[in-house]
Amino acid sequence: MTSAVSPSYECGKVWTISTTAGYTASGYLPAWADEDPSRPDVAPDRLHAELADMTHRTAFGGQFMRMCPGAVDPGEDSVVFAAEMQCRPYAGGDSESRVPVLNIQVFDDMWITDLDPAGIAEVAAQFRCFADLLENRAVPELTAARADWERHHRLRHGSGRTALHGQITQPCPAAPDAHSP
């Protein structure tokens, strides 16, 4: 098990949005935020929208895996289990994301959202349980099933014949045409 290390974020900066009418709004920009939302010359009627849309974020990457939506082959390499810390200080309603939270993109547009530290620990424990299930149960059972399949259900390709349980069978003859006399 790895030990938790708390990063020491340097003191953040200040973001500033100024309007064409001369009004200026500013606030704390955390050091971990990837982008500065500062904007000059915003129309006064857009200031509310600029603040509501403001999101401080940083990404923690993800894993590339071959994904086949709808089990369609061959699929494509996609990012799964990407994580992003974000804070939306002016979000509407009673949003949890007014404080920093973690969101996990499972795949495509499927997310686990608004995780606090306890929620992250719970999801990580569930992922570990699933990984243990895969390693300790699914891998041995799949290995045994494939060995059993190989012993009892061999297929010979190319001759048009199929070997089932050690016996060679001929392919099924074509059904007679219903229109033939």
How confident is the model over 26-53, as pLDDT tens digits? 999 999 999 999 999 999 999 999 999 9
CA gap 92, 85 in Å, rounded: 18
Q: What pLDDT is attached to residue 180?
A: 44
Q: What pLDDT is attached to residue 95?
A: 63
Beta bridge partners of 65: 78
Q: What pLDDT is attached to residue 154?
A: 66
164 occurs within a structural domain: yes
6 occurs within a structural domain: no
15 occurs within a structural domain: yes
Q: What pLDDT is attached to residue 176?
A: 45
Q: What pLDDT is attached to residue 2?
A: 42
83 occurs within a structural domain: yes
Q: What pLDDT is attached to residue 83?
A: 97
CA gap 15, 27 in Å, rounded: 5
Tell which phi-psi region holds residue 41, choosing left (phi > 0), alpha (psi between -120 and 50) or beta: left
Q: Are residues 40 and 82 in the same domain?
A: no
Q: What pLDDT is attached to residue 3?
A: 43
61 occurs within a structural domain: yes
CA gap 81, 105 in Å, rounded: 5
Q: Are residues 93 and 122 in the same domain?
A: no
pTM reported for the whole predicted model: 0.71
3 occurs within a structural domain: no
CA gap 103, 83 in Å, rounded: 6
Question: In the chain, how many domains are there?
Answer: 3
What domain range includes position 47? 11-54
Q: Show the low-confidence residues of the chain (pLDDT under 50).
A: 1-6, 8, 156-181
